[in-house]
Amino acid sequence: MQFAQPTELAKWKQVYQEAVFELDHGHLKTKLEAARNAIEERLAELIKSGGTHREYLELGDAMRTLMYLERNELAA
């Protein structure tokens, strides 16, 4: 799998990818929190300025993935 270069991704996507692909369990919680914050910040920006339907869907999918990972993080 090839990832886009950081300059090609929105900030929230960069932070999200870092969390999703974190292998070190010790860093996972911090990365999940950072990703959640980045997604929430982007949603707040979209509410003020508008955005594409696609980005809203991507943000929703990302948030659901984070919630899944957080639940499993707590169970581990």
pLDDT tens digits, 14-72: 999 999 999 998 999 999 999 999 999 999 999 898 888 999 999 999 999 999 999 98
Tally of structural domains, the chain: 1
pLDDT at 1 over 90: no
pTM greater than 0.75: yes
Domain coverage including residue 40 = 10-75
**Does the pLDDT value for residue 76 go beyond 70?**
no
Residue 1 covered by a domain: no
In a domain, 67, yes or no: yes
Q: Which of 27, 33, 17, 18 is nearest to 41 (CA)?
A: 33
- Give the integer Cα–Cα distance in Å for 76 and 30: 15
| 34 in any annotated domain | yes
Region for 10 from its dihedrals, namely left if φ exceeds 0, alpha if ψ lies in -120 to 50, beta otherwise: beta
Q: Residue 6 — very low, low, confident or very high, per pLDDT cuts 50/70/90?
A: very low
Q: Is residue 22 part of a domain?
A: yes
2 found inside a domain:
no
DSSP secondary structure letters along 9-50: S-HHHHHHHHHHT---HHHHHHHHHHHHHHHHHHHHHHHHH-
